């Protein structure tokens, strides 16, 4: 018998998989829809549970996150958590929204370009601190919590009043965030490859570059030979995620500037 779609993808983690009513109640701390379970355990709160869960995800990855692991972290029985959080799915939603509150939301002096650059750099740093967020991030189904809404409003103000339509404002922000997510994902994968193998990118490059030189035909691939030699010397690796982020961000902002200029003309 073929598995249902929900069964095939049960190992995936992303926002919005929990019960909508309970997730929204937790996100907005609405006590009118409490989770099922026995009476509350003294000392436990949703905030404490979420903080412990974030620590587990940060240190061990999302695959290690479970209600049992969080309970161990807090030194309580697993069942006691269900009084506050009905399941891991709702917990992930609240974790995601909670750590969004860490991102700086101060107003940046200067024009829209400086403001978007600050947003991008803050998001980049955020993903590097909490790599697991990229496993639950879904642009089309974000957890609709207070920090998510506050962040969206803050970011929109960066491009408000510069001549763009409401749809263009939203699209510019989505473009920026999709770029940062992709760049951060590449950087995190590079970090993971070094951690998992015990070999840094520089060590990998120093091992493979001489071997490649023995078999590579520079006359057959002259452009690759010329460009690769310069890039390899600068990166001391096949790729530098930090450089890729900085370079791509400038080019992205250049493109947005063309749009803004066209609306002003």
Residue 180 burial (CB count, 10 A) = 22
Residue 250 has pLDDT above 80, yes or no: yes
112-264 CATH fold: Tetracycline Repressor; domain 2 (1.10.357)
Render pLDDT for 47-106 as a digit per residue (tens, 0 to 9): 999 999 999 999 999 999 999 999 999 999 999 999 999 999 999 999 999 999 999 888
Percent of the chain topping pLDDT 90: 63
What per-residue confidence (pLDDT) applies to 183?
96
Pick from 4, 265, 263, 250: which is nearest to 117 by CA? 250
* Dist CA 125 CA 100 (whole Å): 12
Render pLDDT for 103-137 as a digit per residue (tens, 0 to 9): 988 888 889 999 999 999 999 999 999 999 988 86
pLDDT grade for 236, boundaries at 50, 70 and 90: confident
Q: What is the distance between the terminal CA atoms of the chain, rounded to a whole angstrom?
A: 61
* Dist CA 239 CA 208 (whole Å): 14
């Amino acid at each position: 018998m073929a598995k249902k779609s929900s069964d095939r993808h049960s190992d995936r983690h992303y926002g919005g998989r929990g019960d909508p009513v309970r997730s929204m109640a937790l996100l907005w701390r609405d006590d009118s829809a409490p989770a099922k379970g026995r009476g509350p355990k003294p000392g436990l709160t949703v905030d404490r549970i979420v903080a412990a869960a974030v620590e587990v995800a940060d240190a061990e990855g999302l695959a290690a996150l479970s209600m049992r692991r969080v309970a161990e972290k807090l030194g309580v029985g697993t069942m006691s958590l269900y009084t506050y959080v009905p399941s891991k799915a709702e917990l992930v939603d609240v974790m995601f929204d909670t750590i969004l509150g860490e991102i700086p939301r101060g107003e940046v002096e200067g024009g829209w370009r400086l403001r978007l650059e600050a947003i991008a750099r803050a998001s980049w740093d955020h993903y590097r601190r909490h790599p697991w967020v990229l496993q639950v991030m879904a642009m089309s189904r974000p957890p609709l919590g207070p920090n998510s809404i506050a962040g969206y409003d803050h970011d929109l103000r960066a491009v408000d009043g510069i001549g763009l339509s409401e749809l263009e404002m939203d699209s510019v922000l989505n473009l920026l965030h999709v770029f940062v997510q992709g760049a951060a994902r590449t950087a995190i994968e590079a970090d993971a490859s070094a951690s998992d193998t015990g070999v840094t990118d520089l060590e990998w490059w120093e091992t493979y570059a001489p071997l490649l030189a023995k078999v590579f035909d520079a006359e057959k691939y002259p452009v690759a030979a010329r460009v690769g030699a310069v890039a390899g010397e600068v990166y001391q690796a096949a790729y530098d995620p930090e450089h890729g982020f900085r370079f791509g961000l400038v080019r992205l902002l250049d493109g947005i500037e063309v749009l803004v200029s066209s609306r002003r003309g």
